[in-house]
Structure 1
């Protein structure tokens, strides 16, 4: 497939169709989420997507990813790093496709077990046509929960504020009573009440503010307060939580990125020494600014 021929506007819908085809052939349950699904349900303004998001039943996540890899898709080169939110997906790229495929085994903001969340979304799933292919997707209420969780992670972004407003408007103006009941049911079963407590209150829906343990709630709130600097804050929290004799090693890992681990798309070629140093210098500059903001602003005292 020629990347010059495959335009981005066509690639993302085709990626959803590809994911659905893999799932169908292998008997894997998978749900297309966000993007065209949200647009179909009137929960996102129409726009071109740069990727395709798919939620796969957790027990068969690795199998689905292996099938993608068998078709030439691969993950970007990089290293595992601390995160304020649990790892929830893997991003796959292909040299001939101008879009990514983000394969999720869970979705941030749901605090319940990933299997429980998937089953709740799968039970009420709908089917729609994307790129002339029948695709499984969450129902309108299920999609509303996913889009709300996606939006509230960073309400400083105008696009996210707009998407949150679309969900709120749908809940209050156009959802049927059954749809509202299904929405709050998925929130409860999926443990999303803590993340969506403000939205639920605005929509006049009963709140569920005790989801998850204190650590997960704290992690979610710290992430939302430090979205732009989440990587640096996560490193400082990791260093702060480490035992005293482990701290130097964690600090070194935070500062130094080996040449082989410099993020890149091409797994078969190392960056030049100059490219590696340029990446490190840019990263140090970002990290320094983020650390200063963290110490001065709302992140103070959150490194432990």
Structure 2
């Protein structure tokens, strides 16, 4: 008799992780949407060819601390201690189990989604009102409805240009209905949703990346009249992070710009330790890390300004 536990493939392991996270956060009373991997694979890939790895869930921002505490009570720890929604501009907090389990791997707790630029609390409330129930690992899980899933696929593609999996997800979501059973999308409803959550510029940028997406744009006049923002034109063209950061400042209220700029130029020490492992050696190493960062930013600035000028001329 073999007493060794069965080895699970990554997809099964990730499905169990989603189920466990949904269960634990439901016990803690935290509203949770499972997003990305399973919601795309089980919808757009009837041929069962798309795998997924980490578990991605979306929470209301004001419940992030509750979620981290609840999962921490079950053995989950922060991959980058101190890098959370209080100290970082990142859209998710990453947790992991110190020891692999059946549903092991990393868990990304999203408090916003890049491209949906309305107030994050409002964005989650809108999507929560459209949620649907499904089952993962024989556990009830809340997931976004079809229009929301379509929107998230396009937004993800707009910010991850050149990634083969994101490109294939986009191709499938904008493909016309076919006899193979790929589910159709009500693009008018997707546009309505994008307007409500401040995602119309990013939606347009993502759709422009695929011929099928261009046909969607041409079929909906108000989408055709929309333009990708400078920020999302830069993102979807693979521009430098510095250029994207500069473009982001344009949509930040004036009173917030100085604070945001300081936070980008001199990030929290926990963020520095994540980005530059050399800074963990002490205060001197941390100071040296900040100086390296400033020097790198200064070197990248001319290229970034050139990228901004090219987008402006389009």
TM-score, length of structure 2 as denominator length: 0.67
Give the equivalent residue in structure 2 for 1:263. Answer: 274
Could you tell me how far apart the structure 2 residues matched to 1:180 and 1:171 are?
Answer: 13
Residue 17 of structure 1 pairs with residue 19 of structure 2: yes
* Equivalent in 279, 283, 300 of residue 291 of structure 1: 300
Number of equivalences: 275
Distance 1:93 1:27, change over 3 A: same
Give the equivalent residue in structure 1 for 2:210. Answer: none
SS in 1 for 2:135: strand
Instruction: Answer whether contact 1:78 1:261 (CA < 8 A) is retained.
Output: no
For residues 100-249 of structure 1, the aligned pairs below 5 Å read: 100-169=106-175, 179-197=186-204, 199=207, 202-203=215-216, 204-208=219-223, 217-226=229-238, 229-230=240-241, 234=245
Distance 1:27 1:164, change over 3 A: same
Distance 1:272 1:106, change over 3 A: closer
Deviates more, 1:290-299 or 1:163-172: 290-299
Give the equivalent residue in structure 1 for 2:53. Answer: 50
Tell me how large the CA RMSD over aligned residues is: 4.6
Instruction: Answer whether contact 1:126 1:138 (CA < 8 A) is retained.
Output: yes
Q: CA deviation at 1:206?
A: 4.0
Query: Once the two structures are superposed, what CA deviation does each residue of 1:160-194 show, in whole Å capped at 9, x if it has no partner?
Result: 222211111157996668x3443232222122111
Could you tell me how far apart the structure 2 residues matched to 1:225 and 1:74 are?
Answer: 35
Distance 1:259 1:150, change over 3 A: closer
Distance 1:79 1:301, change over 3 A: farther
Distance 1:11 1:100, change over 3 A: same
* Equivalent in 64, 69, 84 of residue 66 of structure 1: 69
Instruction: Answer whether contact 1:188 1:208 (CA < 8 A) is retained.
Output: no
Give the equivalent residue in structure 1 for 2:79. Answer: 76
Unaligned ranges ≥5, structure 1: none
Query: Once the two structures are superposed, what CA deviation does each residue of 1:254-297 show, in whole Å capped at 9, x if it has no partner?
Result: 8xx98995339x9xxx9779xx89xx7xx98xx59x83893596
Q: CA deviation at 1:301?
A: 9.0
Residue 33 of structure 1 pairs with residue 12 of structure 2: no
TM-score, length of structure 1 as denominator length: 0.69
